[in-house]
Chain A
Amino acid sequence: MDINLMIDITPLLVKAAWVTLDISARGLFFGFFIASALVVLRTSRHLPLRWLARGYISVVRGTPYFVQLLLVFYGGPAIGLRMDPFTCGVVVGAFNIGAYMSEAIRGAIESVDSGQNEASRSLGFGRFATLQHIVLPQAAGLMIRSIGVLAIILIKNSSLVSIISVVELTYQAQRLIGSTYKPLEVFTLSALMYIVIIYAVMGLVELLYRRATRYTFL
C-alpha cells in the first residue's frame, strides 16, 4: 500500500464522490415526482391511463439501466433530445428509479389495511383527504424504507454514468488506475467513499423512519 499516493489522490476522489452524490440526489428528487405521477396514473379511473403506466413501468424495469442510458445519450439526438452527460445521467436515473419507486409507493399504500380507508370514507373524508390524513401517515414508514433501498441502488447505478463520460467516482477511479498503475490503493479509497455515502444514506433513512413512525404503533 502506497500511503502517500492515497493521500495525493484523495482530493480528486472526494470531488468525484461529490458528483456521484449530486447526480444521485437530483435523480432521486425528480424520480420521486415521476413515481408519484405514475402511482396516480396506475390508480386512475381510465383504463388507457392505467395501461400506459403499467406498460411504462414494465418496460423500464425489464430493460438494463445501462442500455437506457446509451439509448437516451447516443440515440436521443436522433429524436431531438440533446443533453450534456450530467443532465442525461440525472434524467435517465430519475425516469428509471421513478418506475421502481412507483411500485414501492403503491406497495406501501396497499399495505395499509383497507378498513382504514373505508372507515375514513364513511366518516366523511374525501378520497384525497383520506389519502393525506389517514393512509399516507400509516404508509410513510414502509415507504421511506423502500425508497431508501432504491436510493442506494440509484447511487450504485450512478457508476454507469461514467460510460457517458461524467467525471464521477467510478470514472475518476478508472482514470487514476490508468495513470498510477496502483489499482489496489485506488480501489480501496473509492470503495471506501461509496461505503461512506451508502452508510450516510442508510443513517438518514433510519432517522426519517423513526420520525415518520413516531405516532404509529408497529
Chain B
Amino acid sequence: MEFDFSPVITYFPTLARGIGATLLIAVVVALLSVLGGQLVAVISIFTRKAVSWPLRFFIWLFMTTPLLLQLYFLYFGIGEWILIPAVAVGVLGLGFHYMAYNADIFIATIKSVSHGQYEASRSLGFGHLATLFYIILPQAFYRAVPQLGNNMIIMVKDTSVLSAIGIAELVYRSQYAISVTFRPFEFYITIAAIYYLINVLMESGQYWFERRAANRR
C-alpha cells in the first residue's frame, strides 16, 4: 500500500488531451442542449397536438431512461443503419438527453411569463413570432438560468459516461494510462480532483451569471 504519483506526472499530457476533449464536448453539448431545448419547448407549446405530443413523448422518454442505455441504443442501434463516428453519437446522445431536461425547464418558464406580456406586445404591433422572439423568450430564458446552470453542471459530470462507448475524453485517456502503468488508484484520484476543480469553477461561474441574470429578470 504505497502510492506513486510519478506515472500521473509522466502521463499528464495524455490526461491534458482528455481534459481538452471533455471541455470541448461539454461546450458543444451545452450549446446544443440549451438552443435545442429552447426550440423543442417553443414547438411543443405553440404547435398543434400532432406535432407537440410526439415531442413531449420524446422528452418524457429521455427523462425516464438512463443515459447509458440511450447511448448504447444510439451507438449500436444507429450503427446498424449508418456509420457515424462515436464522437458524434456521444455528443448527440448527451445533447438529446439534456435537451429533454432543458426543454422541460423552458416549457415551465415560458408558461410562467404572464399572458399580459403577450397581449401587450401584440397590441403594440409585434407579430406572433416577433412577440415570442423579442418579448417572451428573453424573459423565459432569464428565469430558466438557475436550473439551466444546475443541469449543465450535472452534464459535465455525465460526460465521463461517454468513455463507455469509446470516446477519448478524460476517463478514457486515464484508462489508457492505467492499462500501461497499472496505477488505477492514483489516476482515478487525480481525475476525480480534476472533475472537482471543473465543478467548483462552474459553480462560481453559475453564481456570477445568476446575479447578472437576476438584474435582467
Residues of A contacting B188 in the complex (Cβ-Cβ under 8 angstroms): 67, 70-71, 74-75
Q: Any chain B CB within 8 A of the CB of A200?
A: no
A177 CB contact (under 8 Å) in B61, B66, B72, B157: B72
Residue-wise, chain A 167-206 has the 8 Å CB interface mask toward B (1 for contact) of 0011001100110010110010011001100100000000
Q: Any chain B CB within 8 A of the CB of A63?
A: yes
Q: Any chain A CB within 8 A of the CB of B65?
A: yes
Q: Any chain B CB within 8 A of the CB of A80?
A: yes
Q: Give the number of A-B contacts (CB < 8 Å).
A: 110
Residues of A contacting B113 in the complex (Cβ-Cβ under 8 angstroms): none
Residues of B contacting A63 in the complex (Cβ-Cβ under 8 angstroms): 157, 192, 195-196, 199
Q: Any chain A CB within 8 A of the CB of B200?
A: yes
Contact B76 A156 (CB under 8 A): no
A selection of 12 A-B contacts at a CB cut-off of 8 Å is A63-B196, A63-B199, A64-B158, A67-B192, A71-B188, A74-B185, A75-B187, A75-B188, A75-B189, A78-B186, A187-B72, A194-B64
A173 CB contact (under 8 Å) in B72, B178, B199: B72
Give CA–CA (A158, B71) in the complex, Å: 15
Q: Any chain B CB within 8 A of the CB of A160?
A: yes
Count contacts on A: residues with CB < 8 A to the other chain: 40
Q: Any chain B CB within 8 A of the CB of A124?
A: no
Report whether over half of chain B's contact residues are helix, strand or loop; otherwise say mixed: helix
The chain B residues found within 8 Å of chain A, CB to CB, are: 1, 3, 61, 64-69, 72-73, 76-77, 80, 157-158, 160-161, 163-164, 171, 178, 183-189, 191-192, 195-196, 199-200
Contact B80 A181 (CB under 8 A): yes
Give 6 closest A-B pairs by Cβ, nearest first: A75-B185, A183-B77, A159-B66, A71-B188, A78-B185, A62-B199
Contact A62 B69 (CB under 8 A): no
Contact A187 B77 (CB under 8 A): yes
Residue-wise, chain A 147-166 has the 8 Å CB interface mask toward B (1 for contact) of 00000000111111011000
